[in-house]
Amino acid sequence: MKKLLLLFLSSILLISCNQKQEKIIDNTQFSAEEKIDSTNIKTLFNSALTEGKSYEWLRDLTQNIGGRLSGSPEAEKAVIWGEKLMKEVGLDSVWLQPVMVPHWVRGEKEVATYTINNIQKDVPICALGFSIATPKTGILAEVIEVKSLKEAEEIGEKLRGKIIFFNGAFDNTIINTFQAYGGCAGQRYAGAMVCGKFGAKAVIVRSMTNSIDDYPHTGTMSYGDLPKEQYIPTAAISSRAAEILSADLKKDPTLKFYFKQNCETLADAPSFNVVGEIKGAKTPENIMVVGGHLDSWDLGEGAHDDGAGIVQSLEVAYLFKKNNIKLKNTLRVVFFMNEENGIRGALKYAELAKLNKEKHIAGLESDEGGHTPRGFSIDANTVNTKLLQSWKKLLTPYGLHDLDKGSSGADISPLKAENVTLVGYKPDSQRYFDYHHSSTDTFDKVNKRELELGSASMASIIYLMDKYLYSNTPVKP
């Protein structure tokens, strides 16, 4: 009974503290203009959390279309879906930008095995994007384990005739998992490039994830400038399989690994960026872009990467229309095609913007998943960086504490210029690489409330950029 009473009193105290915190937030000393901004931002969040559309849009995209690798029939369906949805939201104009994209296909499901102590072990494996296939009978060879590209280079000629196993794991002491990913993704991208020139037979890499699980994660690889005769098959194995293989190699350094894959790079295929806009009320010649990438890898449904970014970007426009908030600059929503294996859509968009002499003043990209909002990274000149950081008191009540200088995103980065402010939306990163580029990136992994909070967060910074960004004259750092 005493424990129950203490628990009840603790709950009352917690509720009281929360209510006081809400009061502190509500009573923050704002200027007259900031009070208007605070009210409008609250309206955007209220609308997203009670009348948001992003979650059901994402359900439709992932469940009825699924993975959308560039050049695939699913990518084509996604373009049709995106154009139709933008028109339904009521954007002022919607159009398609043609772009030729790479067309790599996985083919029949990959297989991998090895035997140790007369026990055959099946290995979860998937081909990496742009890899060549193995011979029809597969590849069988001894394995050399390395932890980095540098280590492989140092071994050199001893790699000949072997399968090279890159087992560089994430540094899990790094809090931001994107930094941990950046620390080892090079072995996936350039492993074959390094090992092919030494006559290696194939490359397998540990999947790029913090988790230890049975799901292989794909991603793009490259042969660089290697002549075609030095191209070698390249695949990823699951992180758990990597742990087990590493342990088994210590027991039997001569064990032979077998795998077979059937992938192929076809001729470039026609596709499109999907573009829609709301014309600005005062300075329509100034364009602010908000977007994500419509394509995804083929193993899952492309829910976090980057279905979430797509629906959040469109919901930004929906929230302004829903609440009759008029922007002075033009808001342009872009569903970019081919971020995953080429950024052809981003390059085409920037090329056309330059050709048409369009004036972009800002860009916002969502391509880090649909988890809880944490803030934004800013790629801008010194004046505008400080301007965005000055909005922290308006954004922190919604958990948007991080307003740091950094990169924006692959699809808007080609727009970079001295007076263009680029921003990357930053949700919590801790779960993202559980799903990234794998079969587990599915709709059920996305939380409705987190997704909607992200939409509102993005709408809020667009609202502030629209209102204040060029009231101050940008200057060179």
By annotation, the residues acting in catalysis are 339
Of 355, 326, 354, 362, nearest in space to 474 by CA = 362
Cα separation of 213 and 427, whole Å? 23
Number of neighbouring beta carbons within 10 Å of residue 464: 19
CB 69 within 8 A of CB 128: no
Three-state SS string across 245-296, please?
HHHHHHHCCCCEEEEECCCEEEEEEEEEEEEEEECCCCEEEEEEEEEEECCC
According to DSSP, residue 175 is labeled: S
**Per residue in 44-58, is it b (16+ CB within 10 Å) or e — as a string?**
bbebbeeebbbbebb
- Cα 232 to its chain centre, rounded Å, is 28
Cα separation of 305 and 366, whole Å? 9
Number of neighbouring beta carbons within 10 Å of residue 67: 23
Cα separation of 407 and 328, whole Å? 26
| 60: enclosing H helix or E strand | helix 54-64
Of 210, 350, 217, nearest in space to 289 by CA = 350
